[in-house]
Amino acid sequence: MSRQWRGLDRLSRDPAFVARASAEFPQLAAALAAPRDRRGVLKLMAAGLALAGLGGCDDGAPGGVLIPPVLPPTDTVFSGNQMFATASVVGGYANGILVRHANGRPIKVEGNPLHPASLGGTSAIGQAEILGFYDPDRSRGLIRKGEPQAWSSLLTAVAAQREAIRQSHGQGFRVLTGSTTSPTLARQIAALKQVYPDMQWHRWEPVSRDAVRAGALLAYGQPVELVAKLGAVDLLLTIDSDLFDSAPGHLRFARDFAARRNPTRTDRMNRAYAIEPTPTLTGVAADHRFIAGPRDLARIVPALAAAVTGGEQPADMPAWFAPLVADLKATRGRSFIHAGPAQPAAVHALVHAMNEALGGRGQTYDLIASVEADPVDHAASLRGLIDDMNGGRVTTLLIIDSNPVFTAPGFGEALGRVAVSMTLTDGPTETGAKTTWNLPARHGFEDWSDARAYDGTVTLLQPQARPLYDGISPHYLLALFAGPEEVNSRDVVRQTHGLNEQQWHDALATGLVAGTRTAPSDVALKPVQPAVPMPAAGDVTLLIRPDPHLLDGRYANNAWLQELPRPLTKLTWDNPLLVSPAIAERLKLTNGDQVTVANGGVGVTLPAWIMPGQAPDCVVALLGFGRSDVGMVGQGVGFDVYPLTAGRGPVSLHKADGRAVLASTEHHDPLFEDAGDYVHHGTPPHSRQIRPSSANQRSNRRNTTASLAGRLPGA
């Protein structure tokens, strides 16, 4: 039986840590050391009860004031809290939410139980959007070259642009957006292309799903997307996966998975294996977690594919390999393998082939036509744009909801060669400061729009309040480039879906357009054997991942997301380099020591944080911090590691001078080992012993001899 611990210095009983923890709660250590004393406990309980009674005393004097409004809100009758459906859109994919209103103001985000991606759940980012809505740093007005402008000047400028672009058939006109699933935005850009046939639509999402898309193209010839049906999955294998933390539909997946984890609620518990270089939420939820660095994965995944699809028995594999293959084969049609977006396209293609071979298609997952509108390779798309900018082939650039100056090294320099550039953004960004025009966008809670969920369900975004500051919608701006008439974003969205009055009403009430889930595709697997590229050998392998809460940096000005401890590291307000214990030992690092990590010629100096459970050769840099132009909360917090994304190896890591103090909640409320094991581990038979009453419900449990399920964790 493994003993639980929190934090390495807690495990090693580092004297400095014990001293600090004891100083924080001096009575706690004494109380835990003292023998349990029934009389003392009763005395404290009685005192607690008496004090609670005193606290309940009401002196009877009425206090406070009542402040009614001067004018009643039109056409409304106040009835306490009200909820309105809309969506939180991350990486283009919608998650249905309900926004709670008090006195006509949005105050709280809840999940939308009717929405397939939510089922009533919201992510931390969804919850924090309410703070982003009230952010005083949001863009408030139109700025051209640093000077505030009147709205009429934008109309004049766009009219001039329209004329110029029309003459060149849109030759130098480029639109850059993030990943989008919005049918309305896609329709508007298609309409723009009708007017300007030679224009181009570029896409750039720094938290890239390029490999997922490319993997589907390799395996099926089409950019199909996976829809996991975890409720039907008995055996889940994840390879460096984001299934429960950031994949489109992750909230739904986590719920479906958890529903099959509680032995009192299900008679067929699922089993999960994870193979990953650095701990993820998916990995820590797994029954069996195997650590494998990128070089190991490049060797193991093809071997796994050969064993599963071809029945080969590759030599020189870890001890867990053969039982895992046997278990996968024993659960044919009830297993599902998922690879994360950081894995190369070939891994995704192999995973597709394995899933097909295991007969899960239609049972444990579906393939659907791409949910993303007009899917392209983002890296190639942006590279094309930067090349064209440098080559002087871009005259007008419209950047919507993207911050390439911060997230794409080299973009800022190329931007100087564009005659007219416009950024539409709802807060200050590095890109907005460099483009000719900086247009204030409406917040998602102030505007009409639409987006699709992971399964294709069309989700409507409706305004939750009148705009706090002057701003425009991307739909308005795109329409303005297409023609002189100013449109209302509500009309544009409604036109896209062609709903009648009743359907429109129902769609707004439920937050989604009924019956728009994408039907499963029957595309056939192509017989290819993609080769997984072997990462270059070296002492150190650099992995670059998005911060779990700030993602690519767009939420850096949200104090709630900055303050919320990251899963596993429990760090707040900082993004140290996560180093493996092996590297820490080699370089004699402790948490907070400054290190310089370099990729190619580019180096960044930042503190280190030891991450247990990380592959011995890996360091992980987290994106999203170090914003230089974002607002008073996120300005200069953490370290910008985007420069590292431009390097092409080799990676080096050195200890630098100095230390930084990092804020981690890992040591809050320490529990010493005297408190005993606070998490119980066991296998299903073990839990039957604990709860004999529910044992007979699961009498027909399946037993596989090759299974690792009987193994105790840590054994």
Q: Tell whether residue 72 is a contact of other proteins (CB under 8 A).
A: yes
Write down the least CB distance from residue 659 to other proteins, Å: 46
Q: How far is the CB of 104 from other proteins (least distance, A)?
A: 13
Report, in Å, the least distance between residue 140 CB and other proteins.
22
| Per CB under 8 A, 146 contacts other proteins | no
- Select from 78-86, 92-100, 205-213, 539-547 the region that touches other proteins (CB under 8 A): 78-86
| Pairing state between β 365-368 and 225-228 | antiparallel
Nearest distance in Å: CB 380, other proteins: 56
With CB under 8 A as the rule, give the number of residues binding other proteins.
21
- Residue closer to other proteins by CB (options 63, 714) is 63
Q: Judged by CB under 8 A, which of 70, 315, 319, 661 binds other proteins? A: 70
For residue 421, the minimal CB distance to other proteins (Å) is 42
| Nearest alpha-carbon partner for 92 in 459, 630, 434, 493 | 459
Q: How far is the CB of 581 from other proteins (least distance, A)?
A: 48
**Degrees (nearest 5) of the Cα angle 213, 216, 220?**
145
- Report the C-alpha gap between 419 and 157 in whole angstroms: 13
Q: Which of 24, 31, 42, 78 binds other proteins (CB under 8 A)?
A: 78
| Dihedral sign from CA coordinates of 326, 329, 330, 331 | positive
Give the count of beta carbons closer than 10 Å to the beta carbon of residue 628.
14
**Quick one: 71 or 519, whose CB is closer to other proteins?**
71
Tokens representing 646 are 């431009």
Nearest approach, Cβ of 69 to other proteins (angstroms)?
5
Q: In whole angstroms, what is the distance from residue 566 CA to residue 393 CA?
A: 43
User: What CA dihedral angle connects 662, 668, 671 and 673, to 10 degrees?
Assistant: 10
**The only residue of 67, 315, 524, 679 in contact with other proteins, by rule CB under 8 A:** 67
Element (H, E) at 387: helix 378-390
Is 58 an interacting residue with respect to other proteins (CB under 8 A)?
yes
Helix (H) or strand (E) holding 218: helix 210-220
> In this chain, which of 23, 33, 54, 71 binds other proteins, going by CB under 8 A?
71
Per-residue contact track with other proteins, 277 to 306, x per CB under 8 A?
------------------------------
Q: Does 64 bind other proteins (CB under 8 A)?
A: yes
What is the closest distance, in whole angstroms, from the C-beta atom of residue 582 to other proteins in the complex? 52
Instruction: Identify which range of 72-80, 436-444, 491-499, 579-587 contacts other proteins by CB under 8 A.
Output: 72-80
Cα distance between residue 314 and residue 300, in whole Å: 9
Query: Among residues 65 and 679, whose Cβ is nearest to other proteins?
Result: 65
* Sign of torsion over alpha carbons 219, 221, 225, 229: negative
What's the CA gap between 432 and 440, in Å, rounded? Answer: 9
List the one residue from 16, 59, 75, 194 that touches other proteins (CB under 8 A).
59
Using CA atoms, how far apart are residues 480 and 620, in angstroms rounded to an integer?
43
- Residue 110 Cβ, how far from other proteins at the closest point, in Å? 18
Helix (H) or strand (E) holding 390: helix 378-390
CA nearest 548: which of 569, 532, 528?
569
Helix axis angle for 294-310 and 321-330, nearest 10°, is 40
Query: Min. distance of Cβ 59 from other proteins in angstroms?
Result: 7
Counting every residue written for the chain, the total comes to 715
Residue 80 lies near other proteins (rule: CB under 8 A): yes
35 scored as a contact of other proteins (CB under 8 A): no
Instruction: Compare residues 82 and 153 and give the one whose CB is closer to other proteins.
Output: 82
Place of tokens 């420069």: 643
Q: Are 233 and 335 in contact (CB under 8 A)?
A: yes
Q: Work out whether 498 is an interface residue with other proteins (CB under 8 A).
A: no
Could you give the count of Cα atoms lying within 13 Å of 274 in the half-sphere of its Cβ? 22
- Give the DSSP letter of residue 318: -
Strand spans (E) along 295-446? 335-339, 365-368, 396-400, 420-425, 437-440
Contacting other proteins within 214-233 (CB under 8 A): none
Query: Which of these ranges, 75-83, 244-252, 438-446, 646-654, lies near other proteins under the rule CB under 8 A?
Result: 75-83
**For the packed helices 474-482 and 489-497, what is the interaxial angle rounded to 10 degrees?**
80
Tokens of 549: 């809460």
Stretch of residues binding other proteins (CB under 8 A), selected from 67-75, 148-156, 299-307, 451-459? 67-75
Helix (H, G, I), strand (E, B) or coil at 561: helix
Binding flag, residue 65, other proteins (CB under 8 A)? yes
Give the residue, chosen from 15, 53, 63, 692, that forms a contact with other proteins under the rule CB under 8 A.
63
Residue 62 binds to other proteins (criterion: CB under 8 A): yes
- What residues are paired with 338 via a beta bridge? 238
Residues 681 and 567 sit within 8 Å (Cβ to Cβ): no
Shortest distance in whole angstroms from residue 72 CB to other proteins: 5
Specify the residue, 27 or 79, whose C-beta has the smaller distance to other proteins.
Answer: 79
> Considering only residues 16, 54, 66, 519, which one is a binding residue for other proteins as defined by CB under 8 A?
66
Asked whether position 69 contacts other proteins by CB under 8 A, the answer is yes
For other proteins, which is the closer residue by CB, 77 or 319?
A: 77
Give the shortest CB-111-to-other proteins separation in angstroms. 22
Find out whether 11 and 667 touch, Cβ atoms under 8 Å. Answer: no
Q: What angle do CA 425, 430, 436 make, to 5 degrees?
A: 70
Angle among Cα 412, 415, 421 to the nearest 5 degrees reads 125
Interface with other proteins (CB under 8 A), residue from 77, 661, 679, 715? 77
Distance, CA of 109 to CA of 122 (rounded, Å): 8
Determine the interface stretch with other proteins among 58-66, 372-380, 504-512, 705-713 (rule: CB under 8 A).
58-66
Among 15, 35, 53, 56, binds other proteins (CB under 8 A): 56
Q: Find the binding residues for other proteins in span 162-181 (CB under 8 A).
A: none
What angle do the packed helices 345-357 and 294-310 form, to 10 degrees? Answer: 30
- Mark the segment that binds other proteins (CB under 8 A) among 63-71, 352-360, 458-466, 679-687: 63-71
In the complex, the smallest distance separating the C-beta of residue 450 from other proteins, rounded to whole angstroms, is 32
Question: Which amino acid would we find at residue 595?
Answer: V
Least distance (Å) between residue 471 CB and other proteins: 25
601 sits near other proteins (criterion: CB under 8 A): no
**Is residue 522 near other proteins by the rule CB under 8 A?**
no
Task: List interacting residues with other proteins (CB under 8 A).
Answer: 56-72, 77-80
